[in-house]
Amino acid sequence: MLYCEDCRIYNNLKLPPSYPYVDIFKATCELCHKMKDCYDIPAIYAKHRYNWTTEEKILDTMLQKEYRGKAEEMIIPITKGKHAGAVNHEYTDMLLGVLVQVEGQIDWFATYEMRRKLRDAIVKKQKGG
C-alpha cells in the first residue's frame, strides 16, 4: 500500500514498523490519489493491530513466516578483490544479529526491511560509494 504522510495522519494509519529506516518513494498515494512522497508497506501493517480481523491475523502469520525466511537468507557479499561474490562472514553475522521487536515480539517484516537497508549501505560503502 502506498500512502503519504498526510493520509497517514488523516486516516489514523501507523508509521511503517521500520520507521525511520524506511524507503520513501515519489508515487501516487492510494488514498488521496496525489503524487507525493509515500511509504510502501503491506496494507495490513498500516492498520493498528487492535483493528485486525481474524483473517488479517492469519495473513500476518503467513507474512511473518515469509519475511522471516527472506531475512534469515540475507547475506553480504565481498565486493572487491579475488574473493568478490563470496560471503563476507563478518558482515553477514553482524547483519543476522539485527532484530526489530514490536511489543516484545520479533517483527520479521520490520527486521527484513532494516536488514535490507543495512545490507545496501554496507555494500555501497564496500564499493566505495
99: cell is 532484530
Q: Whole-angstrom Cα distance, residue 25 to residue 96?
A: 26
Name the pTM for this structure.
Answer: 0.82
Mean pLDDT for the stretch of residues 96-113: 91
Residues 6 or more apart from 72 whose CB is under 8 A from it?
96
**3-class state of residue 3 by DSSP:** strand
Confidence bin at 36 (pLDDT 50/70/90):
very high
Q: Has residue 15 got a pLDDT over 70?
A: yes
Name the packing angle between helices 54-73 and 108-126 (round to 10°). 30
* pLDDT the model gives residue 28: 94
- Percent of the chain's residues with pLDDT above 90: 58
Cα(76)–Cα(86) distance, integer angstroms:
9
Provide the 8-state DSSP code for 53. -
C-beta separation of 110 from 23 below 8 A? no
Three cell numbers written together for 102: 514490536
Whether the per-residue pLDDT at 45 is higher than 90: the answer is no
**3-class DSSP state for residue 105?**
strand
